[in-house]
A and B are shown apart, each in its own frame.
Chain A
Amino acid sequence: MKKQLLITIKYFVAITIVTGLIYPLFISAVSMIVFPGKASGSLIEKDGKVLGSELIGQKFESDKYFWSRPSAVDYNPAPSGGSNLGPTSAALKKFYDDKRKNFILKNSVVDTTSIPNEMFFASASGVDPHISPVSAILQVERVSKARNFDQSKKDKLYLLVDSLTEKPQFGFLGNAVVNVLLLNLELDKI
Chain B
Amino acid sequence: MITIHEIIQLVFYIVVLTALAPLLGGFFAKVLKGEKTFLTPVFGKLESVIYKVSKINPSEEMDWKVYTFALMAFNFFGIIFLVVIQLIQSYLPLNPQGLPNVEITLAINTAVSFVTNTNWQSYGGETTLGYFVQMIGLTVQNFVSAATAIAVLLVLIRALKTRKGTTLGNFWVDLTRSTVYILLPLAIIWALVLVSQGVVQTFSSYKEVTMLEGAKQVIPLGPAASQIAIKMLGTNGGGFFNVNSAFPFENSTPFSNFIQVLGILLISASLVFTFGRMIGSKKHAWVIYGVMLFLFVVGLSVSVYAEYSTNPIFNTSGLMEGKEVRFGVANSVLWSTATTAASNGSVNAMHSSLSPLAGMITMFNMELGEIIFGGNGCGLYGMLLFVFLTVFIAGLMIGRTPEYLGKKIESREVKWSIIAILLPSACILIFSAIAMKTTAGLSSLANAGPHGYSEILYAFSSAAGNNGSAFAGLNANTVFWNLMLALTMFIARFGAIIPVMVIAGGLVKKNITPSSSGTLSTENLLFGILLLGVILIVGALTFFPALSFGPVLEHLLMGQGITF
Chain A residues proximal to chain B, CB less than 8 Å = 1, 4-16, 18-21, 23-24, 26-28, 30-32, 34-35, 38-43, 50-62, 65, 69, 75-90, 92-93, 96, 116-118, 121-132, 168-170, 172-175, 177, 181, 184-185, 188
Contacts and interface: CB of A to CB of B under 8 A. Distances in A.
B325 A51 contact: no
A156 B32 CA distance: 61
A53 B257 CA distance: 19
A55 B248 contact: yes
Contact of B195 (A26, A31, A88): A31
B200 interface: yes
Given A35-B195, A131-B325, A174-B253, A40 B69 contact: no
Contacts of B203: 28
A124 B200 CA distance: 19
4 smallest CB-CB distances across A and B, nearest first, come from A174-B254, A79-B124, A84-B473, A124-B246
A77 B331 contact: no
A55 B353 contact: no
A104 to B, nearest CB: 14
A10 B55 contact: yes
Nearest to B451: A86
Interface of B: 5, 8-9, 12, 46, 49-50, 53-56, 66, 69-70, 73-74, 77-78, 81, 124-127, 135-137, 139-140, 142-144, 172, 175-176, 179-180, 184, 187-188, 191-192, 195-204, 206-207, 209, 211-213, 215-221, 223, 225-227, 229-230, 241-243, 246-249, 252-255, 257-258, 311, 313-314, 316, 318-328, 331, 347-350, 352-356, 359, 446-451, 454, 471-473, 554, 557-558, 562-564
B137 A86 contact: no
For B227, B311, B353, B449, the residue with the greatest tally of chain A CB atoms inside 10 Å of its CB is: B353
Nearest to A170: B255
Given A58-B213, A75-B211, A82-B353, 15 more contacts: A19-B179, A20-B135, A50-B209, A56-B219, A65-B212, A82-B352, A84-B322, A85-B446, A87-B319, A88-B313, A89-B448, A93-B563, A121-B323, A124-B349, A173-B9
A114 to B, nearest CB: 12
B212 A52 contact: yes
B353 A83 contact: yes
B209 A123 contact: no
B329 to A, nearest CB: 9
Contacts of B254: 168-169, 173-175
19 contacts: A7-B55, A11-B172, A18-B180, A19-B143, A26-B188, A39-B201, A39-B225, A41-B219, A79-B125, A79-B126, A84-B350, A84-B352, A86-B454, A92-B353, A96-B314, A128-B324, A173-B257, A174-B326, A184-B212
A38 B253 CA distance: 12
A81 B136 contact: no
B195 A27 contact: yes
A30 to B, nearest CB: 6
Contacts of B229: 27
A7 B124 CA distance: 34
A41 B200 contact: yes
A5 B50 contact: no
A187 to B, nearest CB: 10
Nearest to B252: A55
A87 B212 contact: no
Given A124-B246, A170-B255, A40 B221 contact: yes
Contacts of A5: 73
Contacts of B221: 40-41
A20 B324 contact: no
A59 B211 contact: yes
B82 to A, nearest CB: 11
Nearest to A115: B316
Contacts of A80: 124, 126, 220, 241-243, 246-247
Contacts of A18: 46, 50, 179-180, 184
Nearest to A113: B316
Contacts of A28: 201-203, 223, 226
Contact of A185 (B172, B212, B225): B212
Contacts of A41: 200, 202, 207, 219, 221, 249
Contacts of A118: 320, 323, 325
B56 A7 contact: yes
A168 B9 CA distance: 11
A88 B249 contact: no
A24 B201 CA distance: 9
B211 A58 contact: yes
A123 B66 CA distance: 50
B202 A174 contact: no
Contacts of B218: 76-78
Contacts of B562: 88
Contacts of A9: 77
Q: Which of B216, B223, B254: most chain A CB closer than 10 A? A: B254
Nearest to B257: A174
Contacts of A169: 253-255
Given A5-B73, A21-B136, A89-B564, A172 B5 contact: yes
A11 B563 contact: no
